[in-house]
Amino acid sequence: MAWSAAQYVKFEDERTRPARDLLAQVPDLPAGPAFDLGCGPGNSTQLILERFPSTPLVGIDGDEDMLEAARKRLLGLRFERADLTAWTPPQGAALFFANAVFQWLPKHIDLLERLVDALAPGGTMAVQMPDNLDEPSHLLMQETAEERAFAGAFHGRAIRRVPLPSPRTYLERLAPKAAKVEVWHTVYYHPLASANAIVEWVKGTGLRPYLDALPANRRKDYLAAYAEKIRRAYPAMADGRVLLRFPRLFIVAVKAR
Ligand SMILES: C[S@@+](CC[C@H](N)C(=O)[O-])C[C@H]1O[C@@H](n2cnc3c(N)ncnc32)[C@H](O)[C@@H]1O
């Protein structure tokens, strides 16, 4: 799937807020390196650097456009290209931080177990994932894709992200490996300028697989049909703006010292 750093950073303040909230729950780190997994354009990496300036820090991402943006933002920091589905976590890490990446990896729970195993004593794994597949923003991408006008163009490919496992599943799998595991949801409410801003927001993330799967000459029509549904689903508030409801799941696991 192709990413665009320029599209992603259009809503950088809103997208970085959950990374701040996640980092606020990370306790002081033991010795060892920190890794920002799915570092994107380096926004989450910058927060980690500010909080833990003396910890060696590496950003990992699978997309060259994102890595280039991250390297420009944080000169001198190490950024490496890797596909997290095939990545072996290095032993003795102080922190694995993953903001808004594992929702794209259907079998991520196996990797989360390996990450906790690889932590140094007292180290932390901190993960946040959008849990928004049942929001109109995402239901309507799929509904539009299934319309007669577009279904053929997708050639029956399954585009919809796989729903996240339940909070109970994360706890059951991770608790035996850690001294403390916390799992919680936060629902963010983002006032945005217009329904079109919601379309622009998801063009940087959730809509990408749909647009990538469509032939180039069908994308404009698909976007127009989706945008029309979004306008109906997100009516204007009193001040003319619209409200994007955005639930996210957080997991913090701290290894025994
Ligand atoms: C939504 S961005 C998150 C960026 C940043 N962490 C933040 O807090 O805003 C998700 C990032 O995960 C990366 N990504 C998605 N799947 C990946 C994979 N299998 N391996 C490595 N990186 C991946 C994408 O390239 C993208 O930069």
pLDDT digits (tens, 9 = 90+) for 8-66: 778 888 989 999 999 999 999 999 999 999 999 999 999 999 999 999 999 999 999 99
Mutation choice for ligand 1 from 9, 16, 101, 188, CB with most ligand atoms inside 8 A:
101
How does the average pLDDT of the chain come out, rounded? Answer: 95
For the entire predicted model, the pTM comes to 0.94
3-state secondary structure of 84: helix
Q: Could you confirm whether domain 5-254 is CATH 3.40.50.150?
A: yes
Give 39 Cα–ligand 1 centroid separation in angstroms.
6
Residue nearest to atom 2 of ligand 1 (CA): 40
**What's the pLDDT score for residue 3?**
66
- Sequence-distant (6+) residues with CB within 8 A of 155 are none
How far is Cα 242 from Cα 257, in angstroms, rounded to an integer? 47
Tokens encoding 179: 């001294």
Name the least confident of 145-159, 166-180, 216-230, 235-249: 145-159
Which residues have C-beta atoms less than 6 Å from ligand 1?
Answer: 3, 15, 19, 38-40, 43-44, 61-63, 66, 83-85, 99-101, 104-105, 205
**What's the pLDDT score for residue 1?**
62
Q: Residue 5 pLDDT > 90, yes or no?
A: no
